[in-house]
Structure 1
């Protein structure tokens, strides 16, 4: 039977507080502890519609106190290349295609901001899911991060000194994989999205697990390869 992870993207000082509060109340109701991606220094113009939340970092620490897991979600969430990298879900990236030193600087600055607020992340995922080998080298050099939430696979696997926790869907649904991560963007959710999510949680909340994932040294295998191949062929 599949185990599920709920991932929430784009938490930052400028976000839709009302929708994030609604999501928090929903997850508390069903006892689901998500993985939350925090943008340390958001400069994405899409977030300019929201006012700055002066209580944001206190909120993040409150999530940690509730055993929610916090990931570093890039640095500024601004796309600078049209490269898909090693997980080409999209053809845009803040990281993939950038020189190593540029990526190291972004990681270093992001980690510094998060540590200023007493948060030392061990998990990373890039905006638009896109990163490359230099991203992994930058993470090794500038952080304590050793878990990546991304890539397409059947189960968690170990590669290049990182645990990769696959992320396969942007909505809740039954999928034939051992570990499934559902990726939601609360800022963009509509009423029907919340209703569908709650219906799924009501029936399946006991199948949701939380970070940190139990570490293993399972390698990316042929079945993972087939799943990845089929996924990208369908895109």
Structure 2
């Protein structure tokens, strides 16, 4: 599991949505770890910077950009060695060009691991599928509408929509929570943002439905609302007036 991803604030939100184990498994599945011969952190930073690239400390990792601000990866110290952690789906040719460029400019062998890994196939499309906490299709549809998109219900119960050019398709098997397939997201950060925002909106819709039903049941029992208080976590405390 990549430590760098866990340090991104929005990723912490996504980890809460997916669950710790599922999040770690998903992170492992979308990354390629390549071992290097760097002796220490200072050697890594000096070598990368002397080759014309940046090497910014990021928590316990080091971040390097490949193509301006659009594409980057992390260096991490794992099992006694520094590794380059690349995201699957990024430009394979760009990464290979960077590796060759770094070794040519430093005039030594740096990458001791293989890229791409032997026997593996890196994702050619920006497509990711992972689980969510969403269980109710009607609430999910309402959530997406209030989120500002136009969800389309498929013949098999699939719910799909387009968010800023990125396609999200939610699928459910039996009574299990929905999974979501995301195609063509500009970056992992955008994936985190989309899912975290939808999750927040889904929770708000669930709370609104519970709130509406509570007030309806109170009215049916001739109970009046004495006061309502919205707390810092956006939960609502309702005080009912019970006839004496």
**How does the TM-score come out when normalised to structure 2?**
0.30
Normalised by the length of structure 1, the TM-score is 0.31
Q: Greater relative contact order: 1 or 2 (C-alpha under 8 angstroms, separation 6 or more)?
A: 1
**Pair member with larger Rg:** 2
Higher strand share goes to which structure? 2
